[in-house]
Structure 1
């Protein structure tokens, strides 16, 4: 037997047994755990590939080509996460192949030899540093069902060869540098496609208005493509859609009626950063809606449970908040409500009792008047932003209950009274407190100094008198950006988009900034 005493060969790095007459892989080599390269090509190896290769965890090169190996590829080969070269050519292997190399440090270009893996059914090279074009040989992967090359640095055009992948069900090439024009023929044979993720590329897709896609997708992500100026008519034929992202897609059109009457309830809808116009009477979306930065007008749309995130920022919605807030079923599951930078008028209604999961409320830059409703203080908010309205009155005592509040921005209103001392006691999680440009009077309570996580305190342009508490110098979080030790027990509700924004004013210059403040 070869290497029957492993201790004498434990420092061996390269094993080359090329062009011999071996009929099986010697088991004794699998005790050589430090091997970097094993070459057994050109032998007469028979039977299945041994599982023992999974023990050689440092292996970078494995060449088993030109043998008589059969059966399928064992899962143990997929655990060799340092492998850089694998050759199994000229054997009698059967079955399908799965290859998952997600989240590594792979670099360089994709080889044209990928097309040789005719039985490859699953290929993920996502989250690496792969650059260059996608090789046309990938169109030969006739068994491929899953392909992800997302979050790399791939450039060039979107190859026509993808239209040949008749077995493909999931395609993800988002977050790359691909550019150019995508044609209808790119999708001509993708009849089994259920997931198309391709956001954050530089691609343009303007099919004929009569084009009917050959697929029925559940997930479509084409954010940052150029799909406009007309609203994509071909989406009318996607009857199984549950997630749609066509944000920042150059669409400047009226929201079509057929889209509002979609036959299925979409789970996630992102139409943000377009120039969509018109009124929206209702939204039949199950989980998350983002219509921000468009040109929608009219009253706020009706929504239905179990909608959790409603983001309507930076539009021209007008009218009252009453119907949205006081219809008890609307707020039953709502976690995030952003209606900032619109034309909403009237008072904030005092019927927040049913909004038991509300965490983020942003009503900044509207035409709101009146006082802060007491019932809002009973919601365990993380963020409350009422900046730049025409509101007045004092901060309700019910806000003593908002013990999870991290951002409170009441700036640019007409609030009055003294700054409550209980802010320092009860709102101990505050990181942003902005009361700028109001009518607050009295002195700065010393209890403010107890806000150990406070990073932004703005009390300018009020009627505050007295001395500045010396203990403000103890607010170490303003200079120390180290990770906080406290547990964010409700951070799961803020999903992937949560940020805190505040207005930082230095020497008369106003800068809006966004920061995760160590939360995500």
Structure 2
């Protein structure tokens, strides 16, 4: 082992401390321990000082928060060519240092969220650097002038910092730059013609800044450019003007592969000028004000892999030519004004399609019951389409669903048994706002439906008993159905493993019986809505164990008794609605003392008696207070005038 020169244990699943015995491998040239989680850590890096022949070091995602010697040690390794310390929880860089990295060409310190307000000066002395990644940190202010010393850079990533200035003119002298990412900062001003000097650029990301105005025509002369990301800029231009700038003088036409212009305040129409970019594979125009129809000629963009036109004002019908885009993998058309019929022809050659999101368009799918789609989708969202009245049988061929949303689609039918066996990797299922009827399987969220996390079956006609849940379910919305019987089957059965449920909405059903006393098994609940059922008895004391509860709705049941004092343990409750029940006793003073973050308190239409407690005046965030239709006596506390949030609203 002493002769070992190359050691790669990256993403091997190890945990715990990095063994210092690695320092005995003194002939190592390459050491790669990078992980995808911070389960590996080192309390110091003294062992690393023995690896004097090391050229490549990658400790990305290894927790070095306690290794305060990381810089001093790595600075003693004279042969280092690459250092990768991304996501190591380093927190602070030394401000001044004499650096010995004479051979260093690649430095990656990304995703550490350094407390340093600016890039320390010693980095600017690394004249041999060709790659510098400082993304996902907290650097701010102007781009430091010292960076101009690193004129050999081919890769510069400053994404997701807080730089706040115009883009300095000296940056346009970096003629060797191939990759430049200044995205998600606060750079302002216009997009300069100076970018035409960066003739080696293949990737340019200026997204998420405060840059305004036109895309300069000179950008079209960057003949090596393959990817342009301008998302979130205030371009405020017609789409055809932007495409004209990028197509002049013309050397981009056969080079550009990815163009991201989402959220750029763009208007105008989709035009045939798009066809000039013959190798365009990724086009994102979402969240703009583009109108008009999708041109038939779009089907000639044979290289398209992803197309995002969501959240625009595109209207008319979906052209059948879209089905000729045989390389298409992801297609977003959601929330436009498309209408008309979509047929099997529209999907004829989309064999690679894995994501199709087109919700929010009143489209009608006409497919034969025997249709077998040519694709296998992982994500499908067709909310607001017309798919019914029969449950779509063509779904039977889809085996890879992670996300399925066919809400508001006019289905008036039962769910066939085969549906629950469709996918073993379901994550999210939304069948809400249809007229689906019948009973659910005995258990939801596990075999035969594995790993369901989000389940929304609300606003249907499901009946029968509530199902049992898998421990994996995070959100369950069965509200506005015809479920009947007790809720104990759902809440109190098979408690061998922890449950992750955060959202439980069962409102507006025909549920009856008492609220069971097993809430301690659901410690992650944030929102509970059982209103408008026929539940009776008292609020069980175990409901007070829900320390994360923010919203509790029990309105319009037949609940009675006094409010359990254990509820005062739910100290982050924002909304509590117990109206239209039969609760008795005094309004407890602990509501004002313990539920200090409450915004809504509704106790109306009960049988509370006694005086209104002055403690309620302590609820400084309270905007709605309903105590009407009770048997209260005495005077309204004068301190109610101090409920400033209520007055403001």
Contact kept in structure 2, 1:304 and 1:329, CA below 8 Å: no
- 1:371 deviates by 0.3
The equivalent of 1:9 in structure 2 is none
1:326 and 2:489 aligned: no
RMSD: 3.0
Contact kept in structure 2, 1:115 and 1:139, CA below 8 Å: no
- 1:479 deviates by 2.7
- Over 3 Å counting, the alpha-carbon distance change for 1:310 and 1:142 in structure 2 is same
Deviations 1:372-393 (Å, cap 9, x if unpaired)?
0000011021011110000100
- 1:51 deviates by 7.4
The equivalent of 2:23 in structure 1 is none
- Over 3 Å counting, the alpha-carbon distance change for 1:464 and 1:36 in structure 2 is closer
Correspondent of 2:630 among 462, 471, 496: 462
CA distance in 2, matches of 1:236, 1:272: 19
- Over 3 Å counting, the alpha-carbon distance change for 1:80 and 1:152 in structure 2 is closer
Deviations 1:236-265 (Å, cap 9, x if unpaired)?
111000100000001101111111232424
Correspondent of 1:142 among 294, 299, 302: 302
- 1:206 deviates by 2.5
Correspondent of 2:473 among 287, 293, 307: 307
- 1:37 deviates by 8.9
SS in 2 for 1:274: coil
Contact kept in structure 1, 2:226 and 2:258, CA below 8 Å: no
1:286 and 2:452 aligned: yes
1:274 and 2:434 aligned: yes
The equivalent of 1:151 in structure 2 is 311
SS in 1 for 2:281: strand
The equivalent of 1:356 in structure 2 is 523
- 1:63 deviates by 5.6
Correspondent of 2:352 among 173, 181, 192: 192
CA distance in 2, matches of 1:97, 1:449: 61
SS in 2 for 1:440: strand
Q: 1:394-433 alignment to 2 at 5 Å?
A: 394-433=562-601
The equivalent of 2:225 in structure 1 is 73
TM-score normalised to structure 2 length: 0.65
CA distance in 2, matches of 1:226, 1:97: 35
SS in 1 for 2:615: helix
The equivalent of 1:344 in structure 2 is 511
Compare 82-91 and 406-415 and name the one that shifted more. 82-91
CA distance in 2, matches of 1:34, 1:425: 51
- 1:116 deviates by 2.2
CA distance in 1, matches of 2:436, 2:219: 57
SS in 1 for 2:453: strand
Deviations 1:41-86 (Å, cap 9, x if unpaired)?
9xxx9x9666799999865331687x9x86x425468589548332
SS in 2 for 1:155: strand
- Over 3 Å counting, the alpha-carbon distance change for 1:330 and 1:308 in structure 2 is farther
1:165 and 2:337 aligned: no
Deviations 1:80-124 (Å, cap 9, x if unpaired)?
954833215654865551000111100011112112222001100
CA distance in 2, matches of 1:309, 1:472: 37
SS in 1 for 2:374: coil
Contact kept in structure 2, 1:97 and 1:119, CA below 8 Å: yes
Correspondent of 1:174 among 331, 334, 348: 334
* Structure 2 unaligned blocks of 5 or more: 1-168, 174-187
Normalized per residue, which structure has more strand? 1
Contact kept in structure 2, 1:57 and 1:80, CA below 8 Å: no
CA distance in 2, matches of 1:231, 1:206: 13
SS in 2 for 1:275: coil
CA distance in 2, matches of 1:371, 1:77: 58
CA distance in 2, matches of 1:122, 1:308: 33
* Equivalenced residues, count: 447
The equivalent of 2:12 in structure 1 is none
CA distance in 2, matches of 1:242, 1:52: 31
- Between 1 and 2, higher relative CO (CA 8 Å, sep ≥ 6) is seen in 1
CA distance in 1, matches of 2:554, 2:189: 62
CA distance in 2, matches of 1:326, 1:38: 67
The equivalent of 2:609 in structure 1 is 441
SS in 2 for 1:266: coil
1:385 and 2:562 aligned: no
- 1:331 deviates by 6.8
Contact kept in structure 2, 1:452 and 1:476, CA below 8 Å: yes
Contact kept in structure 1, 2:204 and 2:228, CA below 8 Å: yes
